[in-house]
Structures are given as structure tokens and as C-alpha cells.
Amino acid sequence: MLSYTESHLDIKKVAKIIKEGSTICYPTETLYGLGCNCEDQRAIDKIYDIKKREKEKNFTLLFKDLNMLSDNCETSDSETRLINKFSPGPFSILLKVKKQSSINSKIISANKEVCCRISSHPFVIRLFEVLDTPIVSTSANLSGNNNIFLFKTIYNTFHNLVDCIIDYGDINKSLGSTIVKDTSNDLAIIREGDLSSSLIMDFYNGKS
């Protein structure tokens, strides 16, 4: 198992092992996440096994920017406005996957959607400087258990389960990202997270 700290980080090596199908535990601006190449079904299956998560439940995907997101997903004008306003950060949005996308079908919902996010965390930003594919992002805890904020607990829980752990120390308590879906005539709040849903709704309705 590889382990890196913020000050001793071989980002090219991390990107390489992700591309080759390895699983990682890494920091985001909300929670530590478990992740892998979104195109690699074997790696995706391993994340499901590590989390002890039902296969019917999908994962969030992290994208470098709006360009990478638009290459893989359909975005309406209103969805693009929301992404530009609240990303990067603790904001996720459900979007339709394009037919030509290489995102593995294992993590695409029955109605052809994925949960998309652009992270503001320095590690993720550095990673996408050398990685050209979206990555899986699911909170680093076992399904149904509380979120973990202490790195020592993260390490003790996952160091024998993943191929690589990125140590950025303890993190602040977080609810995770806020998840939304733009329906035909309204914006649905799927999950309340660190970003205020009222702030998002005010912007969506033209009040801010």
C-alpha cells in the first residue's frame, strides 16, 4: 500500500496507478473519499466491496472542470449556470451521461444519470493536472456508518483495503456536498450538505 503526505506527494505516480486500476483514499474539501478510475469496472467493484455498499447505489464522480464534465454529460443552460456559480466546491448535480462517454455503466443510474462534482481541494486540483479521466468519489466510511474526520481513524480503517492513501491530516466536520437535480420546471434538493440549499434555490430562482 502506497502512502503519501501533502509535503511528500508523487502526483504523477498517483495518477498512474489510478489509470491502471488502483483504489485510493484521498481528501476533498468536505470528506475523505474512496476513489478509482471511473472507467474501470474491477476497481469500481472493489470500492463497492470496501464500502460494503449495495450495488444499486451509485457514486459521485469528480471532474477537473466544466470542460471535462461537458465531455461526458449533457448540461442545459440552467445546469451550466449552477455549475459555474457553485463549483468548484461542495456542490454536486445529477446529469445525463452522453452516449459517447467512457464512464462505466456500473456507476450510471437506470435513468442514465451520474452525480457530478468539481472539487476545490488542492490535492484533487493537482491530481487533475496530470489525470485526464473523472474519478469515483464516495465518502471514506463503511455504508451506514458515521463520517470520519480524524486521519488516524481513516488510516486504521482503510490502509489494508485500498492501494494508496493520501494524508492531508484531520478534516473539519462536514455534511458532504449538497446534491441537486434540475427537473423540467424546478430544482430538487436531493441532499442537504455543506452548501446552503436556500442559497442555491435563491440563485436558481433569480433572487441572487
Query: Tens of pLDDT along 17-56?
Result: 999 999 999 999 999 999 999 999 999 999 999 999 888 7
Residue 184 scores a pLDDT above 90: no
pLDDT at position 139: 96
CA 88 to chain CA mean position, Å: 12
Whether the predicted pLDDT of 190 surpasses 80 = yes
* 106: confidence class by pLDDT, cuts 50, 70, 90: very high
* Domains, the chain, with CATH or none: 2-204 (3.90.870.10)
Q: Is the dihedral of CA 66, 96, 92, 59 positive or negative?
A: negative
Cell numbers of 94, please? 445529477
Residue 14's pLDDT is what?
98
**Which amino acid is it at 155?**
Y
pLDDT on residue 144 = 86
pLDDT at 112: 96
The span from the CA of 39 to the CA of 27, in Å, is: 21
**Closest among 197, 147, 192 to 172, alpha carbons compared:** 147
Closest CA to 176 of 26, 25, 28: 28
pLDDT digits (tens, 9 = 90+) for 126-180: 999 999 999 999 999 988 899 999 999 999 999 999 999 999 999 999 999 999 9
pLDDT (0 to 100) of residue 54 = 85
Q: pLDDT > 90: what percent of the chain?
A: 91
The phi, psi pair for 55, rounded to 5°, reads: -65, -15
Q: Could you give the CA distance from residue 19 to residue 36 in angstroms, rounded to a whole number?
A: 8
**Mean per-residue pLDDT for 97-116?**
96
Mean pLDDT over all residues of the chain?
Answer: 96
The burial of 194, by beta-carbon neighbours within 10 Å (0-12 exposed, 13-18 middle, 19 or more buried), is given as middle
DSSP 8-state class, residue 36: -
User: How far is 35 from 18, CA to CA, in rounded Å?
Assistant: 9
Q: What average pLDDT score do residues 79-92 get?
A: 98
Residue 198 to residue 81: CA distance in whole angstroms: 16
Residue 193 has pLDDT above 90, yes or no: yes
